[in-house]
Amino acid sequence: MEIALNLALYLVPLGLVWAAYHFARNRVSRRNRAILAEAEEAGLTEPASLHPLIDEVRCIGCAACVTACPEHKHHVLGLIDGRAQLTNPTYCIGHGACKAACPVDAITLVFGTAKRGVDIPVVQPTFETNVPGIFIAGELGGMGLIRNAMEQGKQAMESIGRVPGMGGGGTTDVVIVGCGPAGIAASLSAKAAGLRYVTLDQDSLGGTVYNFPRGKLVMTAPVELPIVGRTRFTDTTKEALLAYFEGIVAKADLRINFRERMDAIVPVDGGFVVKTPRAEYRTRAVLLCIGRRGTPRKLGVPGEEGSPKVVYRLMDPEQYKGQHVLVVGGGDSALEAAASIVDQPGTTVTLSYRSEAFGRAKAANRERVRQATETGRLTVMLKSSVKEITPDRVRIEWDGTTRDLPNDAVIVCAGGILPTPFLKEIGIMVETKYGTA
């Protein structure tokens, strides 16, 4: 009797701890399975580039990687049945903090997956490609993150400065294409080295950072830059980082041609001609800092080109208060844009998509759109196409009829044209990685 009592005294608390642990573990697994299932249903299962590959035999389920992931609010990683998994893969941007945090070395960082290859241009340690005179820095070369891009932009320009004939006058030494973190650091280095440089960007200063959602928390690391010295911040906001970039441009008096797209690079004797819609630049070298996100796909309809009311991503829903807005597209970004603008007072929103259903968007976004449509705040036009944009109207073909709608703003979310075909066209070797470290 006494033995039984003693056993109960120890076993009951142990049993309770065990039950509590299993209850918590099952709850976490259930929640993470649901996140994964939603991503799978929407076809959002492939990470964009560098991401963790988790060895489930080694993983001890300590969740150190889950906690360390700077994108944890998007549930990029989660525990399922006591093992870490990529639960929301498309939100992984390759910080690599999970690998550093794993106490049992169960994480390898890889490019691409068995199903989806990722194209990475082949570059030498000097950042020069197989085409002599063309260099690549930043995320285009496969290594994402702001600090890495800046460090690479700086180092690539140091290599360019060592190319014989640089700084010899007579022609531009280097055209820097792209003015995100890599292009900014490269421009500073070119200026510091006394090179004759031209920096172009099809958009505005900051590259991908410029397109982060308002107020996004940015995690980065200090970097030593020419002219302006060492950056001090680690965690900051999108706005503070852009203000810092603007400060750099002003302090170093960098000359940057914004809204000028590089369309072609043609080899000529002793260098290249970089062609844009505005000019042709004769140069000894080219540094591509164009990132991996490509150029937004346009509609190609009359009135679109150059129209100040047409944008290719939603920046801030509030700016559309009281306006007639047309959103074009059927993926998550289009549905998210439409659903967040309808909440603005006095706004009318139309969502136009050429297919018959929003097959490739997350269930939650489809639901938001359904609810907004039911309450009459949003008009959805499936199987429709935009025909023309004028300063105060849009013309849309829908159901066999053409309609003219009052319009103040058009947001086109039709994906992007990736840079790889262009790289191949100009002779740069590209390797496709299928889950390679």
Ligand X SMILES: Cc1cc2nc3c(=O)[nH]c(=O)nc-3n(C[C@H](O)[C@H](O)[C@H](O)COP(=O)(O)OP(=O)(O)OC[C@H]3O[C@@H](n4cnc5c(N)ncnc54)[C@H](O)[C@@H]3O)c2cc1C
Residue 297 contacts ligand X per CB under 6 A: no
Instruction: For ligand X, give the closer residue by CB, 220 or 283.
Output: 220
Judged by CB under 6 A, how many residues of this single chain contact ligand X?
Answer: 34
CA distance 188 to 157: 9
Residue 347 contacts ligand X per CB under 6 A: no
**Binding string, residues 273-292; x marks residues near ligand X by CB under 6 A:** ----------------xxx-
Q: CB-based burial of residue 237 (10 Å sphere; 0-12 exposed, 13-18 middle, 19+ buried)? A: middle
Stretch of 78-86, 139-147, 401-409, 429-437 contacting ligand X, by CB under 6 A: 139-147
Q: Which of 92, 120, 174, 182 binds ligand X (CB under 6 A)?
A: 182
Residue 172 contacts ligand X per CB under 6 A: no
Residue 262 contacts ligand X per CB under 6 A: yes
Residue 181 contacts ligand X per CB under 6 A: yes
Instruction: For ligand X, give the closer residue by CB, 178 or 331.
Output: 178
Q: Which of 31, 83, 99, 261 binds ligand X (CB under 6 A)?
A: 261
Residue 89 contacts ligand X per CB under 6 A: no
Stretch of 99-107, 112-120, 121-129, 178-186 contacting ligand X, by CB under 6 A: 178-186
Residue 145 contacts ligand X per CB under 6 A: yes
Binders of ligand X among residues 220 to 239 (CB under 6 A) are: 220
* Rounded least distance, CB 13 to ligand X, Å: 44
Phi and psi, residue 357, nearest 5°: -155, 160
* Rounded least distance, CB 8 to ligand X, Å: 53
CA distance 369 to 420: 34
Instruction: For ligand X, give the closer residue by CB, 261 or 403.
Output: 261
Residue 121 contacts ligand X per CB under 6 A: no
- Tokens in use for 359? 């097959």
C-alpha distances in Å from residue 379, one per residue of 58, 179, 384, 401: 51, 37, 12, 16
Stretch of 14-22, 107-115, 218-226, 338-346 contacting ligand X, by CB under 6 A: 218-226
Binders of ligand X among residues 149 to 168 (CB under 6 A) are: 149
DSSP 219-236: E----EETTTEE---SEE
DSSP 234-295: SEEEHHHHHHHHHHHHHHHT--EETT----EEEEETTEEEEE-SS-EEEEEEEEE---SS-E
Q: Which of 52, 78, 112, 178 binds ligand X (CB under 6 A)?
A: 178
Q: CB-based burial of residue 27 (10 Å sphere; 0-12 exposed, 13-18 middle, 19+ buried)? A: exposed
CA distance 283 to 330: 41
Q: Which of 45, 295, 379, 385 binds ligand X (CB under 6 A)?
A: 295
Strand order through the sheet with 384-390: 384-390, 393-398, 401-406
Instruction: For ligand X, give the closer residue by CB, 119 or 348.
Output: 119
Measuring CA to CA, which residue among 194, 193, 189, 196 is closest to residue 171?
Answer: 196
Instruction: Quickly count: other Cβ atoms within 10 Å of residue 160's Cβ.
Output: 28
> Within 13 A of 103's CA, how many CA atoms are on the CB side?
6
Q: Which of 119, 173, 201, 332 binds ligand X (CB under 6 A)?
A: 201
Largest CA distance in the chain: 101
Reduced to 3 states (helix: H, G, I; strand: E, B; else coil), residue 139 is: helix
Instruction: For ligand X, give the closer residue by CB, 201 or 336.
Output: 201
Residue 146 contacts ligand X per CB under 6 A: yes
Instruction: For ligand X, give the closer residue by CB, 274 or 394.
Output: 274
Task: Give the interface with ligand X as residue ranges (CB under 6 A).
Answer: 70, 93, 138-139, 144-147, 149, 177-183, 200-203, 207-209, 212, 218-220, 261-262, 289-291, 293, 295
